[in-house]
């Protein structure tokens, strides 16, 4: 009787010892689940282990640009914004000065066309078309009011050739004389005539100016 009761008790004790000594983790144990979430078991595959780091975003540097060179007038003709043409009668102060200058600077010459005038801002130009006749001699007289430096050019403009400066004034102040008595009138050396233009420019200062072409 005593032997039969001892054997089952002994077996129960061994079973309890065997269960309590197992090292296999219980997947349903919350503490074990937290352990797996925090760290990887040895020998298991971690998908994040082989991921490459994402490079930081960079802003592309724009390519350097070289400004285009400013345009130039290769022929030497005056370049500028156009002045505002006005009737010669509106520039009477300037046109009266032309009559006095013509007597001394263009003696024996006749007016070629009518006087022309304009209201100028500094750097602006006034152009007057002219037919440069063969063998003729030309002078241009210009007078300004309020303008500190006035300049005049005689330009040959026979397309398709670029404009060519034939003669220009070289004085100082508000009076410009091209081909006056000091230098003589400009004579066309070609046996034929051609289209041209007279350019009056307010190089410095603003105001009104009038000009007259003379020839002989």
Strand 175-178 to 110-111 pairing:
unpaired
Would 61 be classed as within a structural domain? no
pLDDT value of residue 122: 98
Average pLDDT over every residue of 149-170: 92
Position 35 scores a pLDDT of 47
pLDDT tens profile 78-128 = 778 999 999 988 888 888 899 889 999 999 999 999 999 999 999 999 999
14 falls within a domain: no
Query: Range of 139's domain?
Result: 84-215
Contact 182, 107 (CB under 8 A): no
41 within some domain: no
The pLDDT confidence band at residue 31, using thresholds 50, 70 and 90, is low
As to burial, measured by CB atoms within 10 angstroms (0-12 exposed, 13-18 middle, 19+ buried), residue 98 is buried
Number of domains present in the structure of the chain = 1
pLDDT confidence band for 28 (50 / 70 / 90): low
- Other C-beta atoms lying within 10 Å of the C-beta of residue 125: 20
Residue 189 lies in a domain: yes
CB 95 within 8 A of CB 86: no
Confidence of residue 53 (pLDDT cuts 50, 70, 90): low
Element containing residue 144 per DSSP (H, E): strand 137-156
CATH number at residue 205: 2.60.120.380
Omega before 19 within 30 of 0, i.e. cis: no
């Amino acid at each position: 009787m005593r032997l039969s009761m001892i054997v089952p008790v002994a077996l129960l004790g061994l079973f309890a010892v065997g269960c309590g000594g197992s090292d296999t983790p219980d997947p349903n144990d919350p503490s074990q689940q937290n352990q797996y979430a925090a760290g990887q078991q040895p020998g298991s595959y971690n998908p994040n282990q082989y991921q490459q780091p994402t490079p930081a975003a960079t802003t592309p540097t724009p390519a350097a640009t070289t400004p285009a060179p400013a345009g130039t007038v290769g022929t030497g003709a005056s370049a500028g914004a156009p002045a505002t043409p006005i009737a010669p009668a509106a520039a009477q102060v300037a046109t009266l000065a032309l009559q006095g200058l013509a007597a001394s600077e263009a003696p024996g010459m006749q007016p070629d066309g009518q006087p022309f005038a304009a209201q100028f801002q500094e750097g602006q130009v006034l152009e007057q078309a002219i037919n440069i006749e063969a063998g003729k001699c030309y002078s241009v007289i210009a007078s300004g009011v309020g303008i500190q430096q006035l300049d005049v050019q005689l330009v040959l403009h026979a397309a398709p050739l670029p404009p060519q400066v034939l003669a220009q004034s070289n004085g100082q102040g508000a009076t410009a004389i091209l081909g006056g008595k000091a230098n003589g009138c400009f004579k066309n050396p070609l046996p034929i005539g051609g289209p041209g233009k007279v350019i009056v420019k307010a190089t410095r200062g603003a105001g009104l100016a009038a000009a007259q072409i003379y020839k002989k």
